[in-house]
Amino acid sequence: MSDIQSLKPSSVWKHFHAITQVPRPSGHMDAIRAFLLDFGKGLGLETYADSVGNVIIRKPATPGMECRKGIILQAHMDMVPQKNNDVVHDFERDPISTYIDGDWVRAKGTTLGADNGMGMAAIMAVLEDDTLRHGPIEALITMDEETGMDGAFGLKAGELKGEILLNLDSEDEGQLFIGCAGGVDVNVSGSYKEGNADLGKETVVTLSLRGLRGGHSGMEIDKGRANANKMMVRFLRDEASVIGARIVRMEGGNMRNAIPREAFAVVSIPNEDVRLLFDAASKYEKVLKAEFGATEDALSFTAAVTEMPKTSQKFHLDLPFNGSIDIEIGKGLPVMKKKDQRAVLDALYACHDGVLRYIPTIPGTVETSSNMSIVKIEDGRFEAQFLVRSSSESMKTYLANTIEACFELVDATVEMSGAYSGWQPDVDSPILKSMKEVYKSLFGQEPAVEVVHAGLECGIIGAAMPGLDMISFGPTLRSPHSPDERVYVPSVEKFYKFLVASLENAPLK
């Protein structure tokens, strides 16, 4: 029995433990979908997967509660697969290993999946408990939220009957979210010319940036954390290129909505300049630690020589990130041409990353931001992916266009995809009024009412179901989308107690 199953409320924690045993990285939903379908059918409830793979489970109103408005309880089934570099874990096959750390529950070197496993667990607890009082309930568990909100986008009008949606995907207990930012993916691709480095006169060096905290590119974009891609590009442009290094490959980040924690580059440099590169790397690490010491206490930037064979004509070079290079010694090592290297690095360097603007009327709340989430340079091609967020449609377009403008200067192809609108707040919402009263009666204080910078599925679902009354809330989570992800144990009991009471006190039809 896992330790977390002894926590309260046990009905929630037992289901969360069960969820952690089911692999569910984004893009691999078969196992978790089957798990949820078996669960709903096992309770004798109407249970099915819709045409895109979302799971829907219906539970009738308890006797005497038929007069309450129908409520949709919504969460997403996928999790962000992130792990520390020294951890061996296959997210498509291995369960998440959890442990209790004081008042927090964490995973051992990986993301925990509390985002949004805690929401799913709470829904399962409600569906299973026949002692609760509530009106008609529909559980909606969407697929692939983290990689593009595919499940929410695929939801068909008329699929659900409820009038109220409670999204259980927020991360601060005691806060009710009534609006969120919209977003758009900016996808960049282009080509560059390659030359060949003379391996008799040059040395291959691997640059590694590790140990950053990363995190959710919406919820934690304002925390002052370093972006591994931006930091690596900065070194390659300002230091390595000046010394004479040419890029063989670069790669950083692997999720569109996670602040990248690691970046790696393989460069070739004249033998006589290797010491200059190592000195520059050492100085750069000190610069980064001075700039980000308050937020990045485990930052590491290192340079290491890759030994090349002396006699073999062919060599297989394994990389510290995905992939490898097959080298024919006599032909030299493929590297970026200096002119193209400068142009691509300039474009990446110039792109905005992080918070651009706060909401003028709500000080301290992020309005517009971008995250340089993924960068790849290899085999004559370069790619970059950005997630732009804003609660202002015009500012979202503006920031996306500034990124496009940077890359048009190097003749790259720029495509916008996955755009979704924000969720506009309704301060006169009936469910908001009801839940504020419930929270105060339970805990003796008013909940905070907020607009969140992260992208929630509420905006997309609301577009498919006009007039839907919506609130997002949840237990307290920290550092989702990173191996430092954790959930605050005392908040789970308050969150679930609040959820149950909110169902019992739902507005009348």
* Pair 354, 260: CB distance under 8 Å: no
Q: What is the DSSP code string of 257-310? A: TEE---EEEEEEEEGGGHHHHHHHHHHHHHHHHHHHTTT-TT-EEEEEEEPPPS
- The C-alpha atoms of residue 235 and residue 205 are separated, in whole angstroms, by 14
- Bridge pairing between strands 314-318 and 263-270: unpaired
* Pair 265, 378: CB distance under 8 Å: no
What tokens does 439 get?
């929270």
Q: 115, 138, 144, 145: which one is catalytic?
A: 145
- The C-alpha atoms of residue 10 and residue 26 are separated, in whole angstroms, by 27
Q: Helix count (H) and strand count (E) of the chain?
A: 12, 27
What tokens does 21 get?
């045993």
Q: What is the DSSP-derived secondary structure letter of residue 95?
A: P
What tokens does 284 get?
């750069």
Which are the contacts of 278, defined by CB distance < 8 A and separation ≥ 6? 205, 303
What tokens does 344 get?
């691509």
Burial tier of 458 (Cβ tally within 10 Å: 0-12, 13-18, 19+): buried
Cis before residue 116, ω within 30 degrees of 0? yes
Closest Cα partner for 488 from 125, 101, 215, 177? 101
- Bridge pairing between strands 194-197 and 413-420: unpaired
Angle of CA points 441, 164, 425, to nearest 5°: 80
Closest Cα partner for 214 from 201, 223, 205? 223
78 labelled catalytic:
yes
- The C-alpha atoms of residue 146 and residue 460 are separated, in whole angstroms, by 14
* Pair 87, 110: CB distance under 8 Å: yes
What tokens does 427 get?
């301060």
- Bridge pairing between strands 202-210 and 300-306: antiparallel
- The C-alpha atoms of residue 247 and residue 267 are separated, in whole angstroms, by 4
46 labelled catalytic:
no
Query: Tokens 């300002």 correspond to what residue?
Result: 238
Q: What are phi and psi of 466, to 5 degrees?
A: -55, 140
Q: Is 138 helix (H, G, I), strand (E, B) or coil?
A: strand
Alpha-carbon separation of residue 247 from 183, 349, 377 (angstroms):
32, 15, 8
Residues carrying an active site annotation:
78, 145
